[in-house]
Each structure stands twice: as structure tokens, then as C-alpha cells.
Amino acid sequence: MSKSKLGKGLVVGALFGIAAGIYMASKEGKQLADRLKKQAGEIEKRIRTELKKNKKMSQSAYNDAINTVLAYYVKSKKIAKTELPDLRNYLLGKWDLVKEEIAEVPKEQASKKAKKAKRRK
């Protein structure tokens, strides 16, 4: 890549960043951010609800939960079909984090049981 193209790319990127920053600071930008945050919370809540339906957590169960929730959002038209593949890939990519959290739950439960047992003595 030539220096002139790189320089133009940096300038365009900087201008885009400034424009995005100004927009996000505006009332409309803040409303957009609030809507996206709310929608992300709703999606997370629905995924958790779907996961609770499974007795055993696995990557397959996680994938099924994501597919079920995203299918709901497509039918309800709360998410554009064009956004769906990226969102699905993002969520599927979080399996390792979910797996770590699942591994922590039994440890936390065992710790709570041990504390209760000590209190009873």
C-alpha cells in the first residue's frame, strides 16, 4: 500500500471516528445506545431462560438456545435479518466464557453449602 493511500485511509478513519463520536454524544446517539443496550439485555435474558430448560449444559444446548432466541427475533422483526449472522457468530464465539461460568457454579454452590454447614455446628 502506498503512503498516500495509507494517509488518506487514516484521515478518512479519523473523520469517521469523529463523526461517530459526535453522533453518539447527541440525543439520538444516546437513545440508540440505550436501545441497543436494552435489546442486548433482552437477548441475554431469553438465552438464559432457554438454557435453564436444559438439564445438562453443553455447547450443543448453548447453540440450540441461541438459534431459538434469534429465530424469535427474526420472526418478531426486532432484529434485521442482515444483522443476524454477525450476532449469531458473536454469541456462538462466547461459548468458552459460558463454559467457564458453568464450571464456577458448582464451586460456588459447594462453598455456600460448606458455609451453611459451619453455621449449623
Nearest to 91 by CA among 48, 55, 34: 48
The pLDDT of residue 49 is 87
3-state secondary structure of 57: coil
The pLDDT of residue 114 is 56
The rounded distance, in Å, linking the Cα atoms of 11 and 6 is 9
The pLDDT of residue 53 is 85
The domain ranges of the chain are: 11-120
The pLDDT of residue 33 is 78
Cα separation values, 94 from 4, 83, 88, 101, 106, Å? 39, 17, 10, 11, 20
Apex CA 85: angle with CA 57 and CA 104, to 5°?
A: 25
In order along the chain (121 residues), what is the average pLDDT of each group of 10 residues? 62 73 76 80 86 82 89 82 83 85 64 60 58
Cα separation values, 90 from 9, 47, 67, Å? 27, 14, 12
Q: Are 12 and 20 in contact (CB under 8 A)?
A: no
3-state secondary structure of 80: coil
